[in-house]
Amino acid sequence: MNQILKTIVSASLFALITILSSNAVAAELKVGYVQVDKILQEAPQTAESGKKLEREFSPRSQELDRTQKQIRDIEVSLDKEGVTLSESERRNKERDVSNLKIEFQRKQRELREDINLRKNEELSVLQDRINKAVQTVSETDGYDLVVYGGVAYASKKIDITDKVLKLLGKK
């Protein structure tokens, strides 16, 4: 019985020492947290990217606006002159409007797809810059672990988002 008690006490002491030494290592661990959504909203590169995309796709968007106005004008003309037009003229105008609408929808869909592709490309470039900035801040300030979103709770004292934004040129 005495031997069993010694074994239990020894095992308990070993477990306690292991826990205490683990806590000592954990106390030395420097952890940081980054709010990616805040960076994506506030980084100057986000606004630059938006302006760049707007300039890039503005001509196509304006062309779509002109086509849409043209469709409306023909439809108004059809409503006003519908009674005075011959059946064949009316059919021709209706066919023209129908063809314009189909073309408009095709161009609109293509524009949306192209914009989405370019947004994803720009986002990828921005994510690379953010990752490099996080890595630079982490290495400079001696962090052992930095986590992104998907965190249930993070204390303000480990939030390094503002440092990353500063490095990206925001603050």
Q: Which residue has the higher pLDDT, 144 or 158?
A: 144
Band (pLDDT 50/70/90 cuts) for residue 53 is very high
Q: What is the mean pLDDT of the chain?
A: 81
Band (pLDDT 50/70/90 cuts) for residue 7 is very low
Band (pLDDT 50/70/90 cuts) for residue 20 is very low
Task: Map out the domains of the chain as residue ranges.
Answer: 2-168
Q: Which residue has the higher pLDDT, 95 or 150?
A: 95
| CATH numeric code, 2-168 | 3.30.910.20
Angle at the Cα of 39 (from 38 to 41), degrees rounded to 5?
A: 65
